[in-house]
Structure 1
Amino acid sequence: MMQKSFISEPGFCPDCGSILPELRTDGGVTCFTCKRKHGPEVFGEMVTRYVINFNSHTNNPQIKSSNWKHKSIKEEEPEGPLVERKCPQCNNDVMSYSTLQLRSADEGQTIFYTCTKCKFKETENS
């Protein structure tokens, strides 16, 4: 038997150290680099967990949670970090903001402000 050159982590080839592709349906895997075939034990105790978040708005009574209630505008969480900025519509002194690079990389980003009280939205190019 060939001596291993690497102390490898699960998901990496124990012979050459390359990252391994996903398991095939037969439970085996072939290294892209050294072409050695390995069984599923090469992945060790790796576990993949998925969290799927569904929309809470549904008409299906079997899916709808019994304690679900519609939040009013005032109960909703802010859409981002808060900043002291006067809303031009209702004169509230607090707005949330988020940023996004919409224009070319050598230009400033676009800032989206949302009033925490009336949900008025405005943008600013910086």
Structure 2
Amino acid sequence: MDTSDSTVSFTTAPGFCPDCGSILPLLGDQGGVTCYSCRRTWNAEVFGDMAISYNIHFNDLNAYSTSMQKDDEDDEADGPVVDRRCPQCQNDKMSYATLQLRSADEGQTVFYTCTKCKFKETENS
């Protein structure tokens, strides 16, 4: 491995390649590091007295279950709401969405969903 200061091109901050100035990757298993740009290999001294630290924060075990419960509790519609009676629970509000499923010269298909019981119904218009 190369560590002599007489062969470096310029003086850089720790963590940068003294030969080409590129940022160096973290140390490998053998204690050395190879520059991605110039492919020169350096000892750990090229990092100087730098110290690397990190923290790992884990989510609470209940973090995802509470968000799923919140989604289940919401009685919001999946689209615009219209006055239409649900044939299953007799609720008078249904949301709808439209899609063009048939050929272009025919009407679009309307999908209705009850805002209370989530019953689904289709209508070809």
Which category describes the TM-score, using the shorter chain as reference length?
Answer: 0.3 to 0.5
Length-normalised TM-score, structure 1: 0.46
Length-normalised TM-score, structure 2: 0.46
